[in-house]
A and B are shown apart, each in its own frame.
Chain A
Amino acid sequence: AQRVTQPEKLLSVFKGAPVELKCNYSYSGSPELFWYVQYSRQRLQLLLRHISRESIKGFTADLNKGETSFHLKKPFAQEEDSAMYYCALRETSGSRLTFGEGTQLTVNP
Chain B
Amino acid sequence: EAQVTQNPRYLITVTGKKLTVTCSQNMNHEYMSWYRQDPGLGLRQIYYSMNVEVTDKGDVPEGYKVSRKEKRNFPLILESPSPNQTSLYFCASRGRQTANYGYTFGSGTRLTVV
Task: Please list the residues of chain A having a beta carbon within 8 angstroms of any beta carbon in chain B.
Answer: 6, 9, 32, 34, 36, 42-46, 49, 51-52, 86, 88, 90, 94-102
Q: How far is the CA of A2 from the CA of B83 in the complex (A)?
A: 29
Q: Considering only CB atoms, which chain B residue lies closest to A45 in the complex?
A: B105
Select from chain B the residue with minimum beta-carbon distance to A50.
Answer: B100
The interface-forming segment of B16-24, B35-43, B67-75 is B35-43
- B42 adjacent to A100 (CB under 8 Å): yes
Q: Are A49 and B42 in contact (CB under 8 A)?
A: no
Interface residues of B (CB under 8 A from A): 31, 33, 35, 40-45, 48, 50, 56, 58-59, 90, 92, 96, 99-108
Q: Are A101 and B41 interface neighbours, CB within 8 A?
A: yes
Task: Report the tally of A-B residue pairs with Cβ distances under 8 A.
Answer: 57
A residues near B101, Cβ cutoff 8 Å: 46, 49
Asked if A102 meets B42 with Cβ closer than 8 Å, knowing A46-B101, A46-B103, the reply is yes
Residue in contact with B43 in the complex, picked from A32, A52, A96, A99, CB distance below 8 Å: A99
Q: In the assembly, what is the distance between CA of A88 and CA of B40, in Å?
A: 15
Other A-B pairs beyond A86-B42, A101-B40, 8, CB < 8 Å:
A32-B100, A34-B102, A43-B107, A44-B43, A95-B48, A96-B48, A99-B42, A100-B42
Which residues of chain B come closer than 8 Å to A45, judged between CB atoms?
105
- Residues of the A chain whose Cβ atoms lie less than 8 Å from the Cβ of B103: 46, 97
Contacts of A43 in B (CB 8 A): 90, 105-108
Complex contact B100–A52 (CB within 8 A): yes
- A49-B90 in contact given A43-B108, A95-B48 (Cβ < 8 Å): no
